[in-house]
Amino acid sequence: METIKLIVFLPLLAAIVAGLGNRMLGNFAAKLVTTGALFISCALSWPIFISFLNGSAEAHVVPVLDFIRSGSLDVQWALRVDALTAVMLVVVTSVSSLVHLYSWGYMEEDPSQPRFFAYLSLFTFAMLMLVTADSLVQMFFGWEGVGLASYLLIGFWYHKPSANAAAIKAFVVNRVGDFGFSLGIFGVFLVFGTVSIPAILEAAPGYAGSTIGFLGYRVDTLTLLCILLFIGACGKSAQLGLHTWLPDAMEGPTPVSALIHAATMVTAGVFMVCRLSPLFEQSHTAMTVVTYVGAATALFAATVGTTQTDIKRVIAYSTCSQLGYMFFAAGVGAFGAAMFHLFTHAFFKALLFLGAGSVIHAMHHEQDMRYYGALRKQIPLTFYAMMAGTLAITGVGIAGVFGFAGFYSKDAIIEAAFASGTEAGGVAFAVAVFSALLTSFYSWRLIFLTFYGKPRWSGSEHIQHAAHDHGHGHDDHHHAHDDGTAGYHPHESPVTMLVPLALLAIGAIFSGWYFHEWFIGAETGGGFWKGSLAFNEHLMHAMHEVPIWVKYSATAVMLAGFGIAWMAYIRDTTIPARFTATFSGLYQFLLNKWYWDELYDLLFVRPSLWIGRQFWQRGDIGTIDRFGPHGAAELVQQGSKLAARFQSGYLYSYAFVMLLGLVGLATWMIVQ
């Protein structure tokens, strides 16, 4: 009982110590306190996870305190521990502890290390509060907490205008999603009379088919509630329409990208849908919406990822695409497969982000892959780590023998979409296979551009000039033409950065192979997930019995993607230029991210700025200042000058004024 409290509150305590102690505490002490707290939380989380795997643990709730009592609203602050929580505990604490350790090397020369580590620990605490929530109000607290910590971490280098803009963009876009989420919570309380998650899920079947008034119409109650809640998930998990903040969030330090935007915060939406899966299952329409949005996101992000040249943005769009896979898995009812992919994805995506950080560190903060090449001999350990991550995300494996993490989890989602037998599932299956082809292409494109071919970072083409301040923008793009000085020679990262890469590589290699039976086994999965999410045993059986061509479709497109990338970036490097010249319209469309940012700029940003300028120029300056501070101040000033003229110091002047006063008073009395 006390163990779960330690897991959750140790990161908060560490964040308070490091944040308030700041530079008085010193860099080393702040790093030691926060990293130590996270490793303790991680060490305590794994036994809980293992106990649920072997069936020796039962779901339970640990009360913390009474939170809100107002009328019929009774919110208890309690920590729920079940199989779903156990999975998220190991994901959050494992990735966060390794990111803390990695940051020792990556942020070594930053002058604000205590602040950075305090933010990391604060984020981890908020995420742990979210995944242990026993009520929707407590989940909302963690939901908003990770949003705040994300804002602080994305804008950590606040002296950079681009970082500030990215932080504000993430905060505003998430507020749009959170508005839908909060409406969903209000609606749930209105309908069910409680915000307790177990009580809501137990009562949900009784409301199937009922209707409720909304915006002047009668709509299906559970469909409305699920879609409102899903809007919140779209914002937090960067689904199509509310995805625009995620790529820009790469402005934060690379460890932030690995922690928040690959492994933990962006999976909060998937976790929420799976936590409320018995509620979502009651609405076929809501499940269909989740399926189509997830499939559309997977396709959109995969197509955009093929054209990006910034190494972190490629991985960011990859994250967006993989989240789409998780959502449409949940949409077709394969909640276990969605959580399995969330679990494996945390390891290999964090590995890819931290590996990219190691490359950026080696390349003196250059992020453009066009100025890499032939780095496998310069930074071999980073190369092997990123190869493990790439083999995992592309789904390399042999059925019945061994496969990397994505081979089990991503292929399971593709098979589940086909096995669902629905129209939405069929569309999701087709999109998933094509997206897997694109995933393989852009993943191997990244590897080939970065580690193979000729070096493009020295000699007569491009070189790295002297470093700008390490503490002020590690991830800035930085390249220039050769001016005759010696080229910069890449170097391997320090051991504090390599150890996390090695441990995450183990997860990327073995997590799918070792855990797949517990997560998606037709019988074992039902036992593992019992009481924590809806597990469709019929779908799990059907998933394992799909036609052979379905089982091998993901492997076939993975090999095709690898072959295309090898042809274009190893064998004949003129192919990309010729392709973009031939299909320039398509290339520009994908390079500009389907013009979503331009569309939002036209529809929302410019009108908002225009309205703001009107209020500022005409309202604030033209009206309030004119007749308020400026007008009143001017009136007082002129009145003071006039009054000062009567202050001559001569007796006859004062007598004259008194006489005028008496005449005025007498006149008023006579008139009255």
Q: Tell me: the pLDDT tens digits for 167-193?
A: 999 999 999 999 999 999 999 999 999
Q: How far is CA 484 from the centre of its chain?
A: 42
Burial class (CB within 10 angstroms; exposed 0-12, middle 13-18, buried 19+) of 635:
exposed
Residue 462 has pLDDT above 60, yes or no: no
Please give the structure tokens belonging to residue 606.
């410019």
User: How far apart, in whole angstroms, are the C-alpha atoms of residue 358 and residue 383?
Assistant: 10
Backbone angles phi, psi at 473, to 5 degrees: 100, 65
Q: Nearest 5 degrees, angle CA 172-CA 173-CA 176?
A: 90
Helix 380-394 vs helix 495-520: crossing angle, to nearest 10: 20
User: How far apart, in whole angstroms, are the C-alpha atoms of residue 394 and residue 397?
Assistant: 9
Q: What is the pLDDT, as a whole number, of residue 487?
A: 52
Please give the structure tokens belonging to residue 43.
């060490």
User: How far apart, in whole angstroms, are the C-alpha atoms of residue 280 and residue 230?
Assistant: 10
User: How far apart, in whole angstroms, are the C-alpha atoms of residue 659 and residue 666?
Assistant: 10
Residues sharing a CB contact under 8 Å with residue 134, sequence separation 6 or more, in sequence order: 61, 76, 78, 79, 80, 196, 197, 198
Q: Span 537-561, mean pLDDT? A: 92
User: How far apart, in whole angstroms, are the C-alpha atoms of residue 344 and residue 397?
Assistant: 15
Structure confidence by residue, pLDDT tens digits, 468-519: 333 334 444 444 433 333 456 788 889 999 999 999 999 999 999 999 888 8
Q: What is the pLDDT, as a whole number, of residue 106?
A: 87
What does the radius of gyration of the chain's CA atoms come to, in whole angstroms?
A: 30
pTM beyond cutoff 0.85 = yes
Per DSSP, 458 falls in state S
Phi-psi region of 594 (alpha: psi -120 to 50; beta: other; left: phi over 0): left
Q: Span 634-642, mean pLDDT? A: 79
Residue 459 has pLDDT above 50, yes or no: no
What's the number of CA atoms in the CB half-sphere (13 Å) around residue 485? 11
At residue 151, what is the residue type?
Y
Q: What is the pLDDT, as a whole number, of residue 39?
A: 96
Q: Among 137-146, 238-247, 341-350, where is mean pLDDT lowest?
A: 238-247
Q: What is the pLDDT, as a whole number, of residue 263?
A: 66
User: How far apart, in whole angstroms, are the C-alpha atoms of residue 590 and residue 618?
Assistant: 41
Structure confidence by residue, pLDDT tens digits, 234-263: 999 989 888 888 888 888 888 988 888 766
